[in-house]
Structures are given as structure tokens and as C-alpha cells.
Structure 1
Amino acid sequence: QVVEGMNEIIDSLVVDLEGLGQASYMALFVVLREGAVLGEALEEKIKGRIRRDISPRHVPDEIYAVEEIPRTLSGKKVEVPVRKILLGIPPEQAANLDALRNPETMQLFVDLAHKIQKWSKGG
């Protein structure tokens, strides 16, 4: 809610990928308002707001701009299936895609899984 309260951000999802060979790897996915750009300045603003309003422990390792956050048919964000996909589990095993309002959004997380796993291991 802290991030979604920012003028530049419409929606967000944070996923903690603890267990990838380090204590914690936190990825933040944001949907930007039209005209907003996820550059160094906005990343620092987001991290600063999280550090100040929540805690330094919750500052994400990486921030990714996405078109849309995956949601169930009832509108709930699907954090656990996204986490599973980012850990390398195929989407059809990670989530019931028929129960998602926007199942096409899961492909982005499949595409990011290898990059995130490599980054979190220091590669």
C-alpha cells in the first residue's frame, strides 16, 4: 500500500524469494501510471519510501515495471503462484490458470525467472 500510494504507481506486487542460495531476495513488480518511467530516480524514491514507512528490511533487491499484476477472477493478487514461477515451477503447476482474470500476465514471470535466479545467486 505504501508503494501504491505513490503518484507514479498504479499497482504492485512484492515477492520474497528466500531460499535461492541467500537469506532473502525480494522483487517488487510495479504497474506505472501513464507517463511514469522506472529509472534510477523513481527506484530510489520507491526504496526510500519503503525504508522510511515500512522498514529497511523490506526494501526490494530489484524493481521491475510490468504491464499488469496477475489476479484471480475475484480480483486478488496471486503472490504465491508468481513466487513458484520465479522459483522455476512451470505456470501450469504453479497456478490454476483458468482461475486467473489475466493468465497471459504469467508469461512475463516465466521470462523473468531465469534472470532473477541468476541475479539472486550473484551471477
Structure 2
Amino acid sequence: MRLDMTGAPWGSSHSEPVRAGGLLFVSGQVPRDSEGRAVCVGDIVGQTRYVFDKLAAVLSKAGRDLGDLVVLRTYLVSRDTLPGYLTTRAEFLTSRPVCTTVFVAGLSDTDFLLEVEAVADAEGRRTG
């Protein structure tokens, strides 16, 4: 079931989260503002904060929060950005979701340093 995310913090290129079988699937969040512009260009810490703020807002709109995350998939365009990403991500996570980080040749905008896709517990029953 698609959730009504009217007013959520993303541009028209992102799909709404999908709730299925007790899980909430959130499409990849990128450092793009509501007008379609990349933010914090060249700054992995700023882009990571922006992406996790967006992810938190999406989850909140669905009645969940970052503590409900069970899976994070992160795509980074450079190994050099990993330490900044990991340190900044730790500022946001209150739980320990299963995490996968993949290094890619590029993302949908050359100014994006990362994209984060998530799966959350849609029913607030997460353990561990």
C-alpha cells in the first residue's frame, strides 16, 4: 500500500514509501532540495545530514522514526567519503539497523555524493 506523503520533503522524482507485510520501504534519499537542486555540494557531512533529515521526515510522516529502521543501503561515489558518512550517520541512529554500503561510479546527479535507501518496521515492533 502506498502512503499519502503530500508535503513530504522530496522532489517529484522520488516515489512514496510503500508499506508491505509490516515493513515500510523508503526509496533512495539524495541531497536534493524541493526545487531539484543538489545541496551541500562536495560536503559529505552536509549531504549526509541532509539525507538523514529527509529520511527522518519521511518516516515521521508515516508515523515512524529512525529508531524503527531495520535496513539501510547506502551508495557512495567515493571511498574517501566513508569516514565522514559513518561518523555523521552515527549522530542520527539510535538503533543498529542492518547496513550495506556500496561504492558506485555515479548517481543520478554528479553533485550527489550519496544515496540512502531504507526499510523500517511499520508496526513499531523492532527488536535488537
TM-score, length-scaled by structure 2 = 0.29
More helix by share: 1
More strand by share: 2
TM-score, length-scaled by structure 1 = 0.29
Higher relative contact order (Cα pairs below 8 Å, separated by 6+ residues)? 2
